[in-house]
Structure 1
Amino acid sequence: MIIAKKGTVSLQFYKSEFRSSLLSDYVLLDQQRRFTALPGDALEKCDEDPDRHPVVIFYENVPAGFFVLHGWEGVKDYTENQTALLLRAYSINLPYQGKGIATASIKLLKPFVKGNFPSVNEIILTVNQSNITAQTVYKRGGFVDRGERVMGREGEMFIYHLNL
C-alpha cells in the first residue's frame, strides 16, 4: 500500500480505526450534501462492493476528508476505458475546508493511484454543473472537461478526466 503525501496533506486507504472520526465528527453543509455522500453512507456501499476502495484524506495526521475510487462498475456509465477509476463521494469535513486540503489532495491522486493501481491509466469523475467550487478544485488538480455531459439526480453533470 502506497501512501501519497504532500506537506501536511496525505492520502491513505481507509482502515477501521478511522471509522469513528469519519462517522461521528463529519459535517457537510446541506448544499454540499446534495452533491456527495457522507463517508458513513459511502462506506456501507464499499462494504457491499469489493471494487470500491475508500480513501481518507489526512491533514496534519487527522482525518479531514474522504472519497472512493470505484472500478469498472462505477466507470462504465461514463467511459469505455476499462482501465479507468471513478472518483466518487469526495468531500472535505467542514472544519477543514478553506485550508487548501482539497486542492492538495486532488494533486496527490496521480501518485496515489499510480502506486496502488499500476494498471490504471485514467481517473474520471462527475461534477454537478452548479457545483462551481468543486469544478474549480478538480481543474486545479489537473482534471480536464472534454465537454461530455450526463444527467444526475441534481441535474446536468460534467464528466472530468485525469490522465495518468
Structure 2
Amino acid sequence: MLLPPGIPTLEAYRTKNLTRPDNVFASESLVDCLIRCEVTPQLRPPKTDHFPITTVLRLAVARVPIHVFRNFRQVEWVAFRTALALRLEDLSDPAQPIRTTAEFDDRLCGLMDALQDTICETVPETKLPPFVKRWYSKELDNMRREVNRTRRKAYRLRESPHHPVHADYRRLHNQY
C-alpha cells in the first residue's frame, strides 16, 4: 500500500464521518520509485465524497534517439547521376562476364559501395520530428489544395448539378 494507514479518503455525505475505503496498491518495483502519496482534500470537486489521492513517482523516461534520414525528395538528380557515373568508372568493366561467385561478390560490393558513397555525398540529411507524418509529401499537399479549391467551386455551383465542376471534384477527390 502506498497510502500510509489511518488517513481518511472519504467523507460521508450526510454524517460527515471520515472513513478509509480507498487504498492505493503498487508493485514492489514501483514502491521504490515513490516520492509521496497523500490525500489532498482541498482539490476535492463539488458534490463528491471521495478525496483525491495525489501520488508522485520518480520514473526514468528513456529518450528516443533522433534518427537522421536521407531526404531523397530534395536530391539534385543530375549531380547524383554524374557522381555515381564517376564512381562506376573506377569499377571493373561491366561487359566482362562473371565466372565465379567470388567475382560476383566483389562486383556487388563495389557497386554497393559506389552507390552508398554517392548517396552520402549528394543526398541531404534530415532530422524528422516525432510528430511528422512521414507518408505526407508536397505532392499530396498540392493535391489537397486543388481538391479544396474544386470543392469550393462545386459548393458554389450546387444548384446546377450537371455542371462539369462536380465531375472534376469527384475525380480529384478520388485521386486524393
- Greater relative contact order (Cα 8 A, min sep 6): structure 1 or 2? 1
Q: Which has the larger radius of gyration?
A: 2
Q: TM-score, normalising length from structure 2?
A: 0.19
Larger strand share, 1 or 2: 1
Larger helix share, 1 or 2: 2
Q: TM-score, normalising length from structure 1?
A: 0.20
